[in-house]
């Protein structure tokens, strides 16, 4: 298929640009200069870029810097970018100029061409003089990084975590009476309730949400208005404050102009902190998914304490095998987010002098982590946890044969005597309860009281005992 081209000029000379493209020569140069990954910046970033450009145009109109027809056309065109209409017009690879200048100019060119078409009267809309008025790539791209990350956290990841937390809390209530053997170091420990374990998982997600929410104030500080190096050269002194306020009104997030533009452009500590909160969440999801995977192991030769929904065949050779595939997918997402965080951490270190030059890479990794964690959380809740059932009799059976049941006898007969019972229980495969009747002078009532599994899971009912893992 033959592609037709048109000739356009920029400050370096003429360029051949695809005839139907809304973008112009600077975008085409970047397309040709960076054939690296084949991955453009995520749609969430492009949409936030369109939103920032729309608010910039409306602010320039309010400040009297652009006349109404021109500003209105630019704002409308930018709004179309924000709505996702022109995603295909943003082809530049994520591995490009570290400031993201190419992507900023990509937006300026697309919006300028589209605004000119909307005006329809031959008015020339200039990408730099009009669309980029009062802006620099050096304050626009950090602003878009923050806006896109804050929006996706608020409208995608946090609601997904609400869903996951609710499912875990429901299971904690549903399984509050299911007694099972606790395990430390993967070895038998004292009894615990399955509901207690799942309450712990729900608490992990609640803490993860709180950590993420704690990063939003930093993400809501915007570099807009700082222009090239943070001094605000060529920008109206009210521009940054007004654009941030307009973004706050449009999104419902508390965006403000950064109190210190030199930090906002020279560093990306806020983005790194957000990534660290995502990294922590990823670790939580890996722990939870792996625990559920272990409890589900079997069905005959593993723990088989819970049963995950059978959602697809697990083997191309072993008939009837069903694997914990959702848990495995969640664990892989966690690993990917961990890698993304390492990249973001390295990117944050490259705030050399007055500008961070790792911005596109940081934006992609941060947004990818948010997207992956949100999707994995929903899938984990809906396709795995919601339909998981407890194998009550299996759980109860493990409790009775566990040598660690002897721990509850410590206050009555001492550690050493209880240890003898535990060792013999394991060696002879006999219940602790039975051996306690043979090896101690305790009454049957005292033994049954001490070895009541439910009682052992209630904190504070017994004093004494030793420490250890």
Answer positive or negative: Cα dihedral of 324, 390, 397, 405: positive
Rounded to whole angstroms, what are the CA distances from 291 to 206, 294, 306, 374?
A: 18, 5, 11, 20
CB 113 within 8 A of CB 23: yes
Residue 59, H or E segment: helix 43-62
The CA distance from 84 to 206, in Å, is 32
> Rounded distance, CA 21 to CA 109, Å?
10
State the Cα–Cα distance between residues 398 and 339, nearest whole angstrom.
38
Q: Cα–Cα distance between 166 and 28 in angstroms, integer?
A: 48
Is the distance from CB of 209 to CB of 277 less than 8 angstroms?
no
- Chain centre to alpha carbon of residue 256: 23
Bridge partners of residue 14, in order along the sequence: 9
Would you say 436 and 442 are in contact if contact means Cβ atoms under 8 Å apart? yes
Task: Tell me the catalytic residues.
Answer: 185, 315
SS3 letters across 186-220: CEEEEEEEHHHHHHHHHHHHHHHHHHHHHHHHHHC
CB 277 within 8 A of CB 216: no
* CA separation for the pair 344, 271 (Å, rounded): 8
In whole angstroms, give the CA distance from residue 295 to residue 280.
23
Q: Which residue has the tokens 């219940």?
A: 431
């Amino acid at each position: 298929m033959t592609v037709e081209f048109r000739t356009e000029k920029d400050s370096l000379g003429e360029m051949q640009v695809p005839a139907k493209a809304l973008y112009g020569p600077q975008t085409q140069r970047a397309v040709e200069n960076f054939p690296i990954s084949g991955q453009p910046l995520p749609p969430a970033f492009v949409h936030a870029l369109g939103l920032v450009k729309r608010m910039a145009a409306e602010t320039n109109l309010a400040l009297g810097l652009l006349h109404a027809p021109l500003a209105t056309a630019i704002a409308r065109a930018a709004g179309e970018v924000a709505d996702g209409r022109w995603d295909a017009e943003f082809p530049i690879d994520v591995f490009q100029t570290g400031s993201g200048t190419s992507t900023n100019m990509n937006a300026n060119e697309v919006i300028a061409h589209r605004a000119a078409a909307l005006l329809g009267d031959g008015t020339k809309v200039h990408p730099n003089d009009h669309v980029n008025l009062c802006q620099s790539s050096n304050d626009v791209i950090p602003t878009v990084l923050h806006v896109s990350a804050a929006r996706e956290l608020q409208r995608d990841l946090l609601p997904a975590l609400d869903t996951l937390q609710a499912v875990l809390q429901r299971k904690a209530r549903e399984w509050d009476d299911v007694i099972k053997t606790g395990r430390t170091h993967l070895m038998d420990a004292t009894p615990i309730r399955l509901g207690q374990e799942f309450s712990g998982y729900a608490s992990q997600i609640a803490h993860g949400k709180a950590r993420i929410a704690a990063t939003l104030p930093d993400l809501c500080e915007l570099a807009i208005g700082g222009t090239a190096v943070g001094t605000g050269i060529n920008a109206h002194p009210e521009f940054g404050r007004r654009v941030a306020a307009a973004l706050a009104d449009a999104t419902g997030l508390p965006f403000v102009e950064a109190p210190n533009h030199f930090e906002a452009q020279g560093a990306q500590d806020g983005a790194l902190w957000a990534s660290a909160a995502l990294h922590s969440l990823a670790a939580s999801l890996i722990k939870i998914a792996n625990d559920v995977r272990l409890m589900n192991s079997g069905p005959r030769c593993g723990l088989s304490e819970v049963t995950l929904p059978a959602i697809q065949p697990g083997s191309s050779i072993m008939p009837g095998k069903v694997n914990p595939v959702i848990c495995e997918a969640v664990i892989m997402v966690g690993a990917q987010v961990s890698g993304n965080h390492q990249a973001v951490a390295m990117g944050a270190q490259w705030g050399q002098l007055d500008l961070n030059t790792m911005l596109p890479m940081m934006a992609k990794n941060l947004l990818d982590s948010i997207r992956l964690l949100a999707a994995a959380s929903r899938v984990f809740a809906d396709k795995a946890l919601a339909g998981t059932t407890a194998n009550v009799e299996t759980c109860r059976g493990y409790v009775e044969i566990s040598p660690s049941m002897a721990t509850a006898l410590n206050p009555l007969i001492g550690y050493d005597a209880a240890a003898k019972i535990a060792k013999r229980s394991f060696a002879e495969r006999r219940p602790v309860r039975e051996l306690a009747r043979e090896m101690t002078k305790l009454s049957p009532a005292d033994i049954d009281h001490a070895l009541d599994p439910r009682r052992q899971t209630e904190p504070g009912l017994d004093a004494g005992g030793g420490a250890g893992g």
